[in-house]
Amino acid sequence: AELAIIPNATHGLPQTQAPIMAKLIGKFLDN
């Protein structure tokens, strides 16, 4: 489910928000 959030740019979300979510997901994966 979290992985589906990464390609959210294709859904029309701002490109600035995509990397932020990617970083947040990366933090969860690191934790």
* pTM, entire model: 0.39
Alpha carbons 3 and 19: distance in angstroms, whole number: 13
CA angle 9, 11, 17 (to 5 degrees): 35
Dihedral of CA 14/17/21/23: which sign?
positive
pLDDT in tens, 1-31: 555 555 554 555 555 677 888 888 888 887 6
Residue 3: the pLDDT is 57
Alpha carbons 8 and 16: distance in angstroms, whole number: 11
CA angle 31, 20, 7 (to 5 degrees): 95
Give the number of residues written for the chain.
31
Residue 23: the pLDDT is 86
